[in-house]
Chain A
Amino acid sequence: MHSLSSSSASLSSVPSHHPRHPPSVPLPTLRFCGLRPEALFPRPLSLYSSCSSPARRSARRLRSTVLVSASAGNGPPSKFDYDLVIIGAGVGGHGAALHAVEKGLKTAIIEGDVVGGTCVNRGCVPSKALLAVSGRMRELQSDHHLKSLGLQVAAAGYDRQGVADHANNLASKIRSNLTNSMKALGVDILTGVGTILGPQKVKYGKDNIITAKNIIIATGSVPFVPKGIEVDGKTVITSDHALKLEFVPDWIAIVGSGYIGLEFSDVYTALGSEVTFVEALDQLMPGFDPEIGKLAQRVLINPRNIDYHTGVFASKITPARDGKPVMIELIDAKTKEPKDTLEVDAALIATGRAPFTNGLGLENINVVTQRGFVPVDERMRVIDADGKLVPHVYCIGDANGKMMLAHAASAQGISVVEQVTGKDHILNHLSIPAACFTHPEISMVGLTEPQAKEKADKDGFTISVAKTSFKANTKALAENEGEGLAKMIYRPDNGEILGVHIFGLHAADLIHEASNAIALGTKIQDIKFAVHAHPTLSEVLDELFKSAKVNSPVSSPVSEPVGV
């Protein structure tokens, strides 16, 4: 039987209880969200009272799980302080922690900065707030569009500080939601930088040492700034600074045309800036399916105040100072010859993200990072310098570099918890959707057409491509947003969905039907019979499934999940 850690007691006014406490400990389930606190306290605690009823139901379900696991007698009490310690309280760590509690693990999460990590504080969340503004600005500025709807709007304007506040308030709100959800479930939030001291031993803060049966590294990433670029946080910035929207430059160069660059180009152009993309590869939006990229370029780049330089590196960027603008020296990506110099008002570095793994103490467990990433196998188990698995240490999220998306990190964390609680699990990364929240949105899951072709050639099968247009969708036309394309790459022989790519209104919300089908192994010949409400945008996918020509009338068994 282990004692309560002092830190957890101090973090919460309610005593910490763990499911594995013997039944003699009073009220073992008190900590769970919404579990009849009214019976114990004269007035409901604000935390509890804010719980919505679905949360209460899940908590109740949770308790029964816990009781079952307790009565099943999960062996003698652990000799460790925690069953699971997660280093990093971003979305990945949060997802892992919640699932760990559900599985009955005593869990702590170490955070050296703020709860929520990149996604909540400097990434997906505040950027969605800015994009919500840019989407509305676009609508209000589109005279043609408004006119065709019969609307008349006087000139639209915005207040920069108001927009910035909206993003900041959203981040704070989501951060406190995340913190509360973990606290309410009994996850200990330990503050300080976490360092692995040795097998199953972690230090956090100055000198607090705890032991853990299993450790998950979930330290995430920071913006990657290539050599030669001087970030001053004012005129040469990363997404960290841009999300604060401290100023809206007349002309901003965005280095990198991936998700981050594209989303910011949407925000900046809607707010009146002109944008110049600098892309090292030969075409914009590398990584997207080429056909989708091309269409997206027609809609998101060409008609807007955006120009671009492709096939060039920004070899040197100097912030604006001494009465000079921001200077960007471009060199040819292949020959390294100097090509041009740009003079702009600001530069946003969106060249990707670098893992944040320094100071983790990886040397103490003989792990050497690869370009900063922690090497892992398909089960997120950390691999040491000798190529052997390090027992009890896992790494999820951006720090392992498999798929640098918040929800991928969370899914990886859940997969790890499944494994440490005795159920083998391999995450199928090809079923993880991705989205870019431009106007309109881009989303995708699985393979692009070239990737699918390559795989087909290698494995000896053929692929087909089905496409549907938003132009034929009633709801899209009602919204006057007919621009868009959905595309599916599939195997005509067995109806397997290999990849789905959508560009159009609410594409990010539409992708899940396809990603769920891939995750569950649902075949086209089966899903095409599923019914979609009319008129909805989801009918774009309905049509997509129906337009596919599958030669196999019989549904085959679910394919084995594939790890990456």
Chain B
Amino acid sequence: MANSLLHSSKLSFSSSFPSLLLPPPSRVRRTAPSFSVNAKIREIFMPALSSTMTEGKIVSWVKSEGDVLSKGESVVVVESDKADMDVETFYDGILVAIVVPEGESAPVGAPIGILAESEEEIAEAKAKAASASAGGGGGSGGAQTSSALPVAPAVTASPAPAIPQPSPPASAAAPSGGGTPGKLIATPAAKKLAKQHKVDLNKIAGTGPFGRVTPADVEAAAGIVKPPPKSVATTAAEPAKAVAAGTGGGAKELPPPLPGSSIVPFSTMQAAVSKNMVESLSVPTFRVGYPVSTNALDALYEKVKPKGVTMTAILAKAAAMALVQHPVVNATCKDGKSFTYNSNINIAVAVAINGGLITPVLQDADKLDLYLLSQKWKELVDKARSKQLQPHEYNSGTFTLSNLGMFGVDRFDAILPPGQGAIMAVGASKPTVVAGSDGFFSVKSKMQVNVTADHRIIYGADLAAFLQTFAKIIENPEGLTL
């Protein structure tokens, strides 16, 4: 390993710092071929003295240019966000050049000095140092983040991203509403953020009072989506916010309602939906789609429809039969640590009723035949309409089915309800031109099925295999009527 710095602390209270800075080896290897003559010239980097340190300030150089250094000696004192630390060299050599002078700052990983192994390399090292400081524009120069390492730093030392100064000269920036026109005014937090995200304050139009640049402006410019704001300067009476924040949801500062708009509070059912939807954001989901040919299914449906069988029952039965073969898709992740395999297959079916949304559950859908299932479904829907569903009839689902096909919707995504592993979204069946393997075109009815699943327990292959099984059942629906 080449260029390394070992730093140690003089102060007993700074024991929590990482012990060794080792630049990525790739840097050295990639540098060496093109600069083989430079092999004995090493750069001293700004070390990362704490986990939160992004840049450091040179408090003082213990050694001067031309001093001979031996391994383990203190070379420079660096001020981090936490403490002043003595930085020691890991190599013997001669300190040829100081790239970042005392009192100036450099980002972690940027070269701050040049070390030559012997006197022969001094001239060359000096040239390297000159280009480094010229390219970097002095102090905060050589500013090069460690992610941009592959090229030799001495040559590429790219111009440092301009770090906004607290009081830049007047520029044609922020439109001001009452303050001094043409003068850039940014709040302390905005300046800090701008520095952190390397955003040029002069290019931001301030939207704060008097046209000042606010932290939100900087975040917008840096493309940062703000996490739910902490209610700092507001009153405590914001229970909704507290709930949302507690569940990791996005409580946003809402703009005042437009004039003339009316506010209608949620009904109990709507509030429950809202709560569930926010909670669902804490589950890492993914989606897999599958086109299913429905010609055979349509034929079957025509046959059984007169006997009171509904499409919902057919789909529920098909899903249940597929779930029998793929129990993981019927499982639940309750604590983020384990699979909970459900002993029953209970298909919840989303229904829009009276301006609300409810999911009556077809219990043991795999065990009941189509006719019983259809009968059961009718009962459930009637109960739902008259608001007489018992809790176990709407909250015992292990898998949810949502069908918007009757509206002509060709495909959609469903949100996974909390407590379940997967939800299936079924689109309309449409005649589709299909190119057959024999080279002939044909028209077949296809419907798009999308399944959203909890990726903590259900992986892509699980879902794909489940959908394949489901498609086979739909495409060969004889089994459904058995």
Q: What residues of chain A have their CB less than 8 Å away from a CB belonging to chain B?
A: 137, 141, 152, 154-159, 248, 250-251, 271-276, 294-295, 298, 302-303, 305-307, 309, 323-325, 339-341, 343, 345, 467-472, 484-485
Contacts and interface: CB of A to CB of B under 8 A. Distances in A.
B191 to A, nearest CB: 6
A274 B187 contact: yes
Nearest to A339: B167
B412 interface: no
Given A157-B234, A298-B83, A470-B13, 4 more contacts: A298-B82, A305-B215, A324-B178, A467-B13
Contacts of A468: 12-13
Main SS class of interface, B? loop
B185 A343 contact: yes
Interface string B223-258: 000001011111111100111011000010000000
B1 to A, nearest CB: 30
B13 A472 contact: yes
Contact of B233 (A271, A325, A485): A271
A159 B235 contact: yes
A302 B232 contact: no
B210 interface: yes
The 6 closest A-B pairs by CB, nearest first: A469-B13, A272-B232, A272-B233, A157-B236, A307-B188, A154-B242
Contact of A155 (B183, B210, B242): B242
Contacts of B251: 155
B246 A154 contact: yes
A156 B235 CA distance: 9
Interface in B176-198: 178-180, 183, 185, 187-189, 191-192
Given A154-B246, A471-B15, A340 B167 contact: yes
Interface of B: 11-13, 15-16, 81-84, 166-167, 178-180, 183, 185, 187-189, 191-192, 208-210, 212, 215, 228, 230-238, 241-243, 245-246, 251
Contacts of B189: 274, 305
A476 B426 CA distance: 59
Nearest to A152: B246
A305 B189 CA distance: 5
Given A305-B192, A345-B209, A469-B13, A155 B179 contact: no
A158 B231 CA distance: 9
B163 to A, nearest CB: 14
B82 A325 contact: no
Given A157-B238, A343-B179, A302 B81 contact: yes
Contacts of A154: 242-243, 245-246
B16 to A, nearest CB: 7
Contacts of A141: 230, 232
A155 B230 contact: yes
Contacts of B210: 324-325, 343
Given A298-B81, A343-B179, A467-B11, A307 B231 contact: no
Of the candidates B13, B192, B238, B241, the one having the most CB atoms from chain A within 10 angstroms of its own CB is B13
Contact of B13 (A294, A339, A340, A485): A485
A306 B178 contact: no
B230 A156 contact: yes
A152 B247 CA distance: 11
